[in-house]
Structure 1
């Protein structure tokens, strides 16, 4: 029995060795695998080595393999998407925390006492400086209105001309309006100061000195209005340009001229009502910038609201912080109102056709009249 066992072992091993050396048919090596406890993988991918019964079985097997690979790829993509989304929300949270924490500490300092009780002493102390504060507010209001009017009165007609009659000028206008994003505000203010100094050096009574003094008028600061208009150009240009691209301006002007309307009437009754969303956004942005800008106004020695807050902070620091918070809240409120109003205006504009010059539709010719015209 032991000999038989040893012979059986030799019989089991010998074909394997012979198959490795090529002295037996290749199929003999497969006979060892069941005895060794191995499971063969057949051509169709089955573990038992059996081939699929027909072509449909092979197709089902390939489909299962493809579905498994697709599920693994989908799981990998979903995991990557969740990771990217979580990283994005984390970055937004850190940015919001950095913006909100200083405001919270400022509110706590301006409207609470040392014992934690709520107080309005900071605002009540501002009543002693009511006259100078009122003048700063009036100057800021004049600058704000002048900036909005000058920006819309110059940029909107230029863009309409570019879109309707001179489309080749658009790259030049876009490049010019991008300059305030490249040049720092303090460099712009330094250039304005150098220009005013040059005008004053020409001597009293010269036209250069007269222009310099007129631009620095404290009651109606034309120079600040022009400077704020330049600072608003990059954002206002993109808002108005995007709105004008959605309108068939050439069709509007051609239809208006064919119906007897002039260019001004077309602008007032068709183009401007169709641009409510970009016009409102540009206006609110100009208002927010005019209320909160400090660098140029302080460099040119103009008493706007931010400059007044800075100058009087040494006398009443708590009151200046409270007024700064109110100014910041007003600016954010204007920007939120601009976004909401622009969105509503855009939805209303998509819901109804543009307002324009309507012509009465000609009545459809009757069949009798058509036959008579054909006979004639």
Structure 2
């Protein structure tokens, strides 16, 4: 009788492990297949490629156009994340410290972008910013604004979750009693407590923004070519070459994720 609960526990553990193993296999298999295809010289009707080579990666990283597009993407993403940090972090603090009832309206505001498809938004932005005293269509500035709206929900919700776990008003009142100003108390007390959530949100947003295509292609295109626009333009050249682009993007994102986990410690 005593062995029966232990047997049931072992069966449950094996079931859970099999579910996790199946899920990981389903997720990893396409990545490994893409990696193998990017390293293959030829891969026809056989199960495995005929030969392996790094020529596609050497050709990719020696391509000045690819390096320029990759640099443009990084520049746009980093600029957007800096803007998001400067604007959204103080905004979230002000909402939770001074106007906590506005949080429900902020949640509605940040979800409004999901109600309009990116293609429809791009058409509206083309008509809105194509003319005027400062035409922005075809410039990276319009992409910074679009990317800001994409990153806004992720960053604000991460900050809101962190601030909800803090007693912001009591912490600020205690800091004021000790002689600290509101900006100093925010930088010394509130910001360190939401740092992990902010870092996670920034790197998650970075992954989304690096993969954005619709706004970049419709609003700017080749006038300020990004990584995904470059991938779309060379899609008809070679499947091995495009697989090398995809794997380079994936490995870079994986490195950024690892770096974020290290920094958060």
Q: TM-score normalised to the size of structure 2?
A: 0.82
Q: Which residue does the alignment assign to 1:310?
A: 232
Deviations 1:51-101 (A, max 9, x none): xxxxxxxxxxxxxxxxx9xx89x94x984x766665554444333323222
1:209 to 2:141 alignment = no
Question: How far apart are the structure 1 equivalents of 2:198 and 2:128?
Answer: 37
Q: Does 1:102 align with 2:35?
A: no
Q: Secondary structure at the match of 1:113?
A: strand
CA displacement 1:212-242 (0-9 Å, x = unmatched): x22531xxx1222222222223322232122
The total of aligned residue pairs comes to 256
> Which string of whole-angstrom CA distances, capped at 9 and with x for unpartnered residues, describes residues 24-77 of structure 1?
xxxxxxxxxxxxxxxxxxxxxxxxxxxxxxxxxxxxxxxxxxxx9xx89x94x9
Q: 2: CA distance between counterparts of 1:78 and 1:158?
A: 54
Other-structure match for 2:202: 283
The aligned residue for residue 267 of structure 1 is 186
Asked if 1 retains the 8 angstrom alpha-carbon contact of 2:154 and 2:205, the reply is no
Q: CA–CA distance in 1 between the matches of 2:170 and 2:16?
A: 44
| 2:156 alignment partner, one of 237, 259, 265 | 237
Q: CA deviation at 1:325?
A: 0.2
Unaligned runs of 5+ in 1: 1-67, 201-207, 345-376
More moved, 189-198 vs 303-312: 189-198
CA distance 1:312–1:128, change in 2 (3 Å): farther
Whole-Å separation in 2 of the counterparts to 1:90 and 1:179: 40
Question: What corresponds to 1:249 in structure 2?
Answer: 168
C-alpha distance in 1, partners of 2:10/2:145? 48
Residues 210 and 227, structure 2, Cα contact 8 Å, conserved in 1: yes
Match of 2:92 in 1: 159
Match of residue 225 from structure 1: 144
| Separation in 2, partners of 1:78, 1:164 | 53
Question: What secondary structure, in the 3-state scheme, does the structure 1 residue paired with 2:21 have?
Answer: helix
> Structure 1 residues 183 and 340, CA, compared in 2 at 3 Å: closer, same or farther?
farther
- Stretches of structure 2 that go unaligned for 5 or more consecutive residues are 43-48
Q: CA RMSD in A?
A: 2.9
Indicate if the aligned counterparts of 2:203 and 2:257 stay in contact, CA closer than 8 A: yes
Change (3 A) 1:78 1:173: farther
CA offsets per residue over residues 258-301 of structure 1, 9 Å max, x none? Answer: 34432222222322223221121122112222222223322334
> In structure 1, which of residues 174, 181, 185 is the aligned counterpart of residue 107 of structure 2?
174
Match of 1:121 among 47, 55, 59: 55
Task: Supply the distance in 2 between the matched residues of 1:328 and 1:126 (Cα, whole angstroms).
Answer: 15
Supply the distance in 2 between the matched residues of 1:157 and 1:260 (Cα, whole angstroms): 21
How far apart, CA to CA, are the structure 2 residues paired with 1:92 and 1:335? 21
Task: Please tell me whether residue 143 in structure 1 is matched to residue 76 in structure 2.
Answer: yes
Q: Which whole-Å CA distance do the structure 1 matches of 2:62 and 2:197 have between them?
A: 41
Separation in 1, partners of 2:136, 2:170 = 44
CA distance in 1, matches of 2:52, 2:216: 34
1:160: Cα distance to partner? 0.7
Aligned-pair distance for 1:140? 0.8
Please say which structure displays the higher CA radius of gyration: 1
Which of 305, 320, 325 is the equivalent residue of 2:242?
Answer: 320
CA shift, 1:134, in A, is 2.6
Residue 143 of structure 1 deviates from its aligned partner by 0.9
